[in-house]
Structure 1
Amino acid sequence: MQLTRANFGDFIYFLAVARHSSFSRAGVEVGISASALSHAIKGLEARLGVRLLNRTTRSVTLTAAGEELLALISEPVDKIDQAIELLNKFRDEPTGRIRLNVFSDAALLLLAPVLSTFAHRYPDIEVEVSTTNSMVDIVEGGFDAGIRYGATVPEGMIAQSLSPPVRWVVVGTPDYLDRCGMPLHPEDLKQHSCLRFRLGNGRMYNWEFEREGEKLEIPVSGNVVLDETRMMLAMVTQGAGLTYCAEPIVAPLIAEGTLQVVLEDWVSVGPGFHIYYSSYRQVPITLRLLIDLIRELRPLG
């Protein structure tokens, strides 16, 4: 069988199915429906005269022939991807598109301060940002990368740090603290109205504290549960209670006296923001340029 344009395209489809072990997820990556992808692979199998995939209602796995084909063509195709990206470096203006899935804190603190500079410096690169605190499969969603706090990066991803470690603080308005008292120990928070936070995986977040090697996780009480930072900021500044958040989010409000940090000797420090992407993907130059600019401008220091 000769290497025609159609056969080369079907090899790309085969590699996507092999990576995902799923027609639906591979279809999202290559931009066609699962049924069209399955039809293309069946055509490739017919032309090759061998079966490449074992299909059941629950799984898609490689046959022995599929394993051999994967080993033979994955590296050459990766090199073609690398060559295309290399050529992009020689353009007068890099071009392309970046799709990012971003935690709301990262959108406010990390991307907003740099995207205008990025757009001015690279006018032919389009950046699409989807902001959500829910856990999203970036590969299935068709994203090039995600940005989250380091401790919440999904397993199996390659991650690069974009900021220093982050301090996590408890804050409230001076008026609230005058009315309800100043907590002196993390356990005191159980007697306060706290704005609770639900993580992207659906789990309620226990506030974490550390002092001189002692670590605590406090399941605080409160009748308001949020999963979005901006609403949390609006409520805490109105005196609705105490909240727990990354210090950079509230630093301007602390500086102007709108909010006050409590339990300062119990401040916890966690990993900063990380950008992550699938381990099998060649990082496009467009994404590398954005990473380099964030590190250059250092919006979080």
Structure 2
Amino acid sequence: MSKPTLSDLQAFMMVAARRSFAQAAGELGVSRSALSHAMRGLESALGVRLLHRTTRSVSLTEAGERLLTRLRPVLTDLDRALDDVAADDKGLRGTLRINGSEGAIRHLLQSVVPRYLAMYPDMELDLVADGRLVDVVGEGFDAGVRLGEAVHKDMIAVRVSEDLRFLAVASPRYLRRHGVPAVPDDLRAHRCIRQRLPSGKRYRWEFARYGQTFAIDPPGALTLDSNTLMVEAALDGLGIAYVPEPYAREALARKRLVAVLSDWCPFIPGLFLYFPGNRHIPAGLQAFIQLLRASGSCG
């Protein structure tokens, strides 16, 4: 069996990512027919079919999915090794890919990103805001940023923000009409703006006080999948929302929203940047971590 070439494997990765021979060929700078021929040669070399082809679409076979899963971290590590060699010789360069929630990416943009780009003009930052808790290694990221309680114990974690809390907030107009809840159980008589998680489940509101903890799936006719939209809905008087405090901070300061049940809203570990400890840390990520620690954004 002839061994596949690195260029063939990289081409397969591009086809798998774009699900289109035309788009993949355009990005690779080759003709569509040449790319199709290369993929057939790869399948012949491996002795398995990797791609389902129709006149309209391209999808991966089961074997193609397995190859993609194994190949992605290998080629990512190769790119990082080449970037590190270039960095040692010519200064920091390459691409740093970080996945995080929308709020986490926003925090990075407001804190360390401007200084990082100014200090390392040859670096490219690829920041992906994703509601899902992804496998950063399996999906080709250098690191992720999430709340500390969501970070797996086998990851190295670097603090990005101070501890934070979720707050129940509502507009003054809503509270004048419907009253102010005194304890979490009072929410059952209110209109609550519920949140749909990326998994499809609804988020249960969590409260704690005096050693007691409560997790409530509150009633409400409106469900959203964005903290930003939940704040906007609360501003419009549509009900009580339960969101991370940074999302509501400006509206609270301007008294357009009021926090309720504050005594029942404990602080939780804030945002952490995390990455696997059993793999080489690319130079770009090392520099990013150093800036995080030096900037004071990590507490």
Task: Assess same fold via TM > 0.5.
Answer: yes
TM-score using structure 1 length: 0.70
**Paired letter, 1:119:** L
Answer whether contact 1:195 1:226 (CA < 8 A) is retained: yes
Tell whether the 8 Å contact from 2:97 to 2:143 is kept in structure 1 after alignment.
Answer: yes
Residue of structure 2 equivalent to 1:292: 290
Checking the alignment, whether the CA contact within 8 Å between 1:163 and 1:272 is kept in structure 2 is yes
Q: Distance in 1 between matches of 2:229 and 2:140?
A: 28
Q: Please report how far the alpha carbon of residue 145 of structure 1 lies from its aligned counterpart in structure 2 after TM superposition.
A: 1.7
CA distance in 2, matches of 1:176, 1:187: 18
* Inter-partner Cα distance in structure 1 for 2:195 and 2:184: 17
For the 8 Å contact 1:104–1:228, the answer to whether it is kept is: no
Retained in 2: the 8 A contact 1:104–1:229?
A: no
Unaligned stretches of 5+ in structure 2? Answer: 18-27, 29-34, 48-61, 67-73
Match of 1:223 among 221, 224, 249: 221
Specify every segment of 5 or more residues in structure 1 that has no aligned partner in the other structure, as ranges: 1-5, 14-22, 43-55, 61-73
* Aligned AA (2:132): S
Map 1:158-237 to 2 at 5 A: 158-237=156-235
Shift of 1:177: 0.8
Q: Which moved more, 1:233-242 or 1:135-144?
A: 135-144
Distance (Å, rounded) in 2 between the aligned partners of 1:144 and 1:110: 15
* TM-score of the aligned structures, taking structure 2 as reference length: 0.70
Provide the rounded CA distance (Å) in 2 between the counterparts of 1:96 and 1:57: 31
Rounded Cα–Cα distance in structure 2 between residues aligned with 1:243 and 1:201: 20
- Please report how far the alpha carbon of residue 264 of structure 1 lies from its aligned counterpart in structure 2 after TM superposition: 1.5
Task: Tell me the residue number matched to 2:52.
Answer: none
1:106-130, CA deviations, whole angstroms, 9 ceiling, x for partnerless residues?
1223333332222222211111111
Q: Residue in 2 aligned with 1:85?
A: 84
More displaced 10-residue stretch of structure 1: 288-297 or 216-225: 288-297
Report the alpha carbon displacement of residue 163 of structure 1 after superposing the two structures with TM: 1.6
Q: Could you say which residue in structure 1 is the equivalent of 2:127?
A: 129
Amino acid at match of 1:293: L
**Residues 241-280 of structure 1 aligned to structure 2 (within 5 Å):** 241-280=239-278
Letter in 1 for 2:84: E
Asked if 1:100 is matched to 2:98, the reply is yes
The CA distance in 2 between the partners of 1:294 and 1:277, in whole Å, is 14
| Matched positions, count | 259
Distance in structure 2 (CA, Å) of the matches to 1:58 and 1:155: 31
CA 1:246–1:153 in 2, change beyond 3 Å: closer, same or farther? same
C-alpha contact (below 8 Å) 1:101/1:143 kept by paired residues: yes
State how far apart, in whole Å, the 1-side matches of 2:44 and 2:295 are: 48
How many Å separate the matches in 1 of 2:146 and 2:40? 33
Relative to structure 1, the CA distance from residue 89 to residue 136 in structure 2 (aligned partners, 3 Å threshold; closer, same or farther) is: same
Q: How far is 1:57 from its partner?
A: 6.7
| Secondary structure of the corresponding residue to residue 173 of structure 2 | helix
Alpha-carbon distance in structure 1 between the residues aligned to 2:278 and 2:198: 24
